[in-house]
Amino acid sequence: MDTTAPIGVFDSGVGGLTVAREIMRQVPNERIVYFGDTARVPYGSKSKDTIIKYSRQIIRFLQTEKVKAIVIACNTATALALNEMQKEFDIPIIGVVQPGVVAATQTTKNGRIGLIGTESTIHSGMYPKLIEEIMPQAQVIGKACPLFCPLVEEGMINDTITTQVAERYLSELKKQQIDTLIMGCTHYPLLQDTIAQVMGEGITLVNPAYETALELKQLLERENLANVCEIDSPSSMYRFYVSDTAEKFKKIASFILPFDITMTQQIAIEQF
């Protein structure tokens, strides 16, 4: 395997850019090919079979870009499709759930862990299952927050309506004596201030993006895949692909990433 090959990173849309950003920080020597499935976003209310099909098409596309490893930067796709994709493809594939689980179990003192995410992620039960394997005595209290993603996409990041929606979604969780809350959707770190304010003091928010980038770094070193060659400027190191047109993607992307995206290419993802 060519160690100068890029890392493939994908998500249903822009949310996975919060993970890509963290990968850029922690393994700055690596090229990235990012795919956002903006023609079929959102994933969070769709079924396992559909998400497996979509993930398979995206990984086939990323393979045409000669990626050396893949990060599923979407909690829904990780929860519903990671296991199947690891069986189907030879290339190393990691998701965002396992890293979030590790971070949460290291953070909690009282073993009571809250989890927020899309309907599909919560419904999958993947987080509680993996947490139980590491910390059998832990209790996981999950809550789906379907409106958080559209609110982020509407740019209502600091907004009284978003605060009220958060209060509605989180009111039950606040009564559960949790000390740790996993932001189990890659959009949610953009609402971190609102979520922290509603939850109040004494609760640590876990953003799986940081731990995911760390796991990727360890994987690349373990498998002798890390790039040791000279690096270029960001514009040549990072490539962005989407399944719908690029206008809206670019706008939100430039808000999440520390540089402006100049080139984004549209792909007919159904053909893969």
Contact footprint for a copy of itself (CB under 8 A): 38-40, 45-47, 49-50, 146-147, 150-151, 153-154, 160-161, 164-165, 168, 243-245, 248, 270
For the bound state, the minimum distance from the C-beta of residue 54 to a copy of itself, rounded and expressed in Å, comes to 8
Q: Which of 240, 180, 238, 177 lies closest to 205, judged by CA?
A: 180
* Residue number, 119 or 179, with CB nearest to a copy of itself: 119
DSSP 204: E
Q: Which is nearer to a copy of itself, 38 or 121 (CB)?
A: 38
Residue 151 beta carbon to a copy of itself: minimum distance, rounded to whole angstroms? 7
Pairing verdict, β 180-183 and 204-206: parallel
Alpha helix (H) residue ranges in the chain? 17-26, 48-64, 75-88, 97-107, 119-124, 126-134, 148-153, 160-174, 192-199, 208-222, 234-237, 247-256
**121 vs 180, beta carbon nearer a copy of itself:** 121
Question: CA–CA separation, 62 vs 73, rounded Å?
Answer: 14
Min dist. Cβ of residue 51 to a copy of itself (A): 9
Question: Annotated catalytic, 149?
Answer: no
How many CB atoms sit inside 10 A of residue 37's CB? 25
- Partners of residue 204 on adjacent β-strands: 180
Nearer to a copy of itself, 26 or 266 (CB): 266
Nearer to a copy of itself, 76 or 108 (CB): 76
Cβ contacts of 239 within 8 Å, gap of 6 or more: 6, 31, 32, 33, 34, 65, 263, 265
Shortest Å, Cβ 57 to a copy of itself: 9
Distance CA 243, CA 150 (A): 18
Q: Taking the complex as a whole, how short is the minimal distance between the CB of residue 38 and a copy of itself, in angstroms? A: 8
| Active site (catalytic) residues | 74, 185
